[in-house]
């Protein structure tokens, strides 16, 4: 067994697997920047990443441009430690423009950001209207005048159901340079309660050697609906909210990846969109 645990740990780093299978930080940053630029004519400077986890989005933002700064917020000290050891370390001296804060996202509002992003549905941890309203109020107070909050969400006729979906992920290099061999990502919607909208989901990974990493991540969420989130943004004092959806590319049988502002769209089995709160 000598040396095996370290080798296993290297091969099975769940955060690397998550970054490669779930996150698309360049597309998210392009989107946030585009919406901000359209409003202001210039790019945002300070990005606040709520629920930052390994702070991949923040690090990619800092790397993008010399004047960019980022503030990553997460309440989990171990995950933040890893963010420092891996993604922040990969920035070298540019890490000076990154601040990582171990706190609840709703607990502080300074420094105020130009653009706040809370992605991959992390804000669905709140189960009640008062909790979600409190977060939106705090997120608004943490923005400079004219700042924007970018959230993502999903829905559709087949979204709030028990289901499992598998996707092959090609071998790739992570932000910190670690090479990860090909693996399978499994999204498991284990239970949905239509009365409370309690929604239990997990991510499992199947590695190239057949090893199954069960419940590498688990989420205990409420499934929130778009209209109620928009109402809460308005109640929290956001001047306006906007919804952005992508289009379906028939030839590629995939999203075209271009998110346009919509007032209406055809409901689909499962859709993923951005919800933007404007101050």
Q: Choose between 95 and 265: whose C-beta lies nearer to ligand SAM.
A: 95
Q: 125, 100 in Cβ contact below 8 A?
A: no
Joined together, the tokens standing for residue 29 give: 């940053």
Q: Choose between 223 and 263: whose C-beta lies nearer to ligand SAM.
A: 223
Tell me the sheet residues that pair with 220.
Answer: 200
Q: Report DSSP letters for 190-207, one per residue.
A: EEE-TTT-EEEEEEEEEE
Cis peptide before 111 (omega within 30 of 0): yes
Q: Choose between 105 and 139: whose C-beta lies nearer to ligand SAM.
A: 105
Indicate which single residue of 39, 64, 75, 112 sits in contact with ligand SAM (rule: CB under 6 A): 75
**Measured from the CB of residue 126, what is the shortest distance to ligand SAM in angstroms?**
8
Q: Choose between 77 and 253: whose C-beta lies nearer to ligand SAM.
A: 77
Question: Does residue 188 belong to the site contacting ligand SAM (CB under 6 A)?
Answer: no
Indicate which single residue of 31, 36, 51, 271 sits in contact with ligand SAM (rule: CB under 6 A): 51
Alpha-carbon span 200 to 270, nearest angstrom: 17
**Measured from the CB of residue 73, what is the shortest distance to ligand SAM in angstroms?**
6
Alpha-carbon span 120 to 131, nearest angstrom: 18
Closest CA relative to residue 106, chosen from 67, 137, 80: 137
**Measured from the CB of residue 263, what is the shortest distance to ligand SAM in angstroms?**
27
Q: Which of residues 102-131 bind ligand SAM (CB under 6 A)?
A: 104-105, 119-120, 122, 125
**Measured from the CB of residue 277, what is the shortest distance to ligand SAM in angstroms?**
17
Question: Does residue 23 belong to the site contacting ligand SAM (CB under 6 A)?
Answer: yes
Q: Choose between 119 and 276: whose C-beta lies nearer to ligand SAM.
A: 119
Indicate which single residue of 74, 114, 188, 246 sits in contact with ligand SAM (rule: CB under 6 A): 74
Instruction: Report angle CA 98, 25, 168 to the nearest 5 degrees.
Output: 135
What b/e sequence results for 64-85 when a residue is b if at least 16 CB atoms lie within 10 Å of its CB, and e otherwise? Answer: beeebbbbbbbeeeebbebbee
Q: Which residues bind ligand SAM (CB under 6 A)?
A: 22-23, 51-53, 73-76, 79, 104-105, 119-120, 122, 125
């Amino acid at each position: 067994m000598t040396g095996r645990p370290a080798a296993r740990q290297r091969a099975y780093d769940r955060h690397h697997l998550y970054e490669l299978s779930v996150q698309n930080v360049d597309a998210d940053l392009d989107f946030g920047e585009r919406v901000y630029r359209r409003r202001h004519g210039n790019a945002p400077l300070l990005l606040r990443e709520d629920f930052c986890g390994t702070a991949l989005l923040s690090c990619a933002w800092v790397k993008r441009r010399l004047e960019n700064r980022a503030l990553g917020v997460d309440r989990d000290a171990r995950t933040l430690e890893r963010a420092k050891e891996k993604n922040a370390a990969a920035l070298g001296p540019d890490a000076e423009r990154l601040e990582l804060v171990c706190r609840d996202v709703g607990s502080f509002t300074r420094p105020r950001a130009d653009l706040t992003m809370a992605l991959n549905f992390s804000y669905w941890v709140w189960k009640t209207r008062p909790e979600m309203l409190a977060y939106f109020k705090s997120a608004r107070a943490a923005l400079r005048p004219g700042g924007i909050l970018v959230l993502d969400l999903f829905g559709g006729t087949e979204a709030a159901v028990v289901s499992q979906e598998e996707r092959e992920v090609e071998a790739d290099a992570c932000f910190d340079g670690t090479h990860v061999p090909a693996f399978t990502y499994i999204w498991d919607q284990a239970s949905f309660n239509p009365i409370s909208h309690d929604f239990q989901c997990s991510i499992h990974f199947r590695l190239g050697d057949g090893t199954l990493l069960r419940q590498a991540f688990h989420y205990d969420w409420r499934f929130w609906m778009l209209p109620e989130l928009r109402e809460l943004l308005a109640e929290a004092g956001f001047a306006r909210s906007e919804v952005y959806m992508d289009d379906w590319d028939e030839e590629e049988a995939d999203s075209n990846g271009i998110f346009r502002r919509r007032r209406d769209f055809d409901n689909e089995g499962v859709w993923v969109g951005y919800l933007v709160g404007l101050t």
